[in-house]
Amino acid sequence: MQPKPLLITQGARRRCCRVDNGKMLVLRWPSFRRPLDVLFLAACILLTADVLVPEIWGHGKTKDYPLWFWAGQQILHGGDLYPKGSNEGFAFLYPPLSAILLAIPSIFGKIPLYLGLCLLNVAAWWMTAQLSNAMTGSGRRPDPWLEALPGIVTITFVFDMFDLGQPNLVLLVMMLLGFLWLWQGREWLSGSMFALAAAIKVFPVAVLPYLLWRRRWASATSMVAFLGIFLFLVPAPIRGFERNVSELTTWYRGMVGSNSEQGFGQRDAQNWSWVNQSIIAVTHRLVRPVNYNQIDPAKPAQYMNVADLDYKTANAIVLAVFAAIGLGFIAIIPARAKMTPRSTAEEVGILFCLMTIASPLARQYYFVWLFFPITVLFQRAAFDPRPRARAMTRWALGASFALMALSLPIFPKILQAIGNNLAATFVMIAALAWHIRHPPPASDPHSAAPPEKI
């Protein structure tokens, strides 16, 4: 007997944010009665200790944490976030809003800031798992092991979130909440959440073309409006309107408007090297002689190009690849009238994959955004009524995990330069696309739903 969804009454709607086939399901807190929840809490304690122990008893936590404290202190003391000289490199790569958000916990010192960031990642990790399992469109409640599997297989990406202090996991849960509200018909709320994610770290702005293509006019309008609010109005009382506009202009020129053969976005050596597995970086490494070892000048130059094209031609190839992927995505997704909870989850899973690899920079930790696509595929592998579909999905997951494992230190860096995570992402995209184009029989109760439920 298959487990039934846990339904609740309309009066309890405020305590819920889990949707499947248009029905509300309860989000739950971690429980000490569940062994896997205890394992989750233990992992969170260890990951938080990785941040706090060096700061309290060692020589201080490194990676991005000191930079976040510096940015918060700059806001508190009225200092500059970006250098005034056009040739000087940026230390802080994010828009001013991010520094303002960091300033609040920075008031209390480094340890409260670091602890606050860790707790934010803990909450984001838990909520990502809850929302991802709820938004797959399967209409089934997974058993504890199936619910926990996506978090287990992406643990290395989550470790990077804690160790480096990066916000990508928090951005992921923001995007999931945005789509949850979009599916609930709360389009203005969804747009505000998409805008907040994009105002913190730019690459989530790629969701806007999708909203426009799907004619989600209210959500798209809300996103644009709130982007203006977050970028221009919120910092103005703190930084001053003119100073904030000046800082935004400096940031835009240095980050978005800066690209050349040497690199882009203030981190030239990193962006062309093996650590970046975006479509842009891998394509350039394949078609022109780019030293993928340039992140470490002490090591000899190494190349993997199969052609010797110039920078302009390489960019033209990148644009052609993006155009082909975009047209392919449009061709795969169903018309709005034919959307179902299943196909919508698969469609958004592909969107998250594409947003990850289409970003100019896609370092190892960026691939934490595969959490949702992986969850969708796990539930298709478990719940699809067709044995062959389940087997195909399991093979796709196995191939993806094998490719991602090539990032382990025991393997040569050229495998990452070639794009092992990029290849794994394309395997997931192919599996999700197959499910969209080959839905279960209409007799399956979760394969169809009225369009207004989507």
C-beta of residue 450 within 8 angstroms of C-beta of residue 309? no
Task: Look at the pTM and tell me if it is higher than 0.75.
Answer: yes
Q: Which pLDDT belongs to residue 400?
A: 98
How far apart are the C-alpha atoms of 172 and 408, rounded to whole Å?
Answer: 24
Q: Which helix (H) or strand (E) holds 258?
A: none
How far apart are the C-alpha atoms of 31 and 29, rounded to whole Å?
Answer: 6
3-class DSSP string for 350-397: HHHHHHHHHCCCCCHHHHHHHHHHHHHHHHHHHHCCCHHHHHHHHHHH
Looking at the domain assignment, is residue 187 inside a domain? no
How far apart are the C-alpha atoms of 37 and 39, rounded to whole Å?
Answer: 5
Looking at the domain assignment, is residue 404 inside a domain? yes
Q: Which pLDDT belongs to residue 449?
A: 47
Domain of residue 415, residue span:
264-454
Q: How many domains does the chain have?
A: 1
Looking at the domain assignment, is residue 297 inside a domain? yes
Q: Tens digits of per-residue pLDDT, 134-187?
A: 999 988 889 999 999 999 999 999 999 999 999 999 999 999 999 999 999 999
Looking at the domain assignment, is residue 258 inside a domain? no
Q: Which pLDDT belongs to residue 443?
A: 55
Looking at the domain assignment, is residue 108 inside a domain? no
3-class DSSP string for 172-218: HHHHHHHHHHHHCCCHHHHHHHHHHHHHHCCHHHHHHHHHHHCCCHH
Looking at the domain assignment, is residue 363 inside a domain? yes
Instruction: Determine how β-strand 263-264 pairs with β-strand 23-26.
Output: unpaired
The amino acid occupying position 135 is M
pLDDT averaged per 10 residues, the chain (length 454): 36 39 63 93 97 93 93 94 74 91 94 97 97 92 93 96 95 97 95 97 94 96 97 94 92 76 68 92 94 87 93 95 96 93 96 96 95 98 95 97 95 95 98 96 57 40
Q: Which pLDDT belongs to residue 253?
A: 83
Looking at the domain assignment, is residue 87 inside a domain? no
Give the Å distances, CA to CA, from 284 to 261, 308, 316, 406: 10, 10, 10, 21
Q: Which pLDDT belongs to residue 141?
A: 86
Looking at the domain assignment, is residue 103 inside a domain? no
**Contacting residues for 84 by C-beta, under 8 A, at least 6 apart:** 250
Which pair of structure tokens corresponds to residue 335? Answer: 């018309």
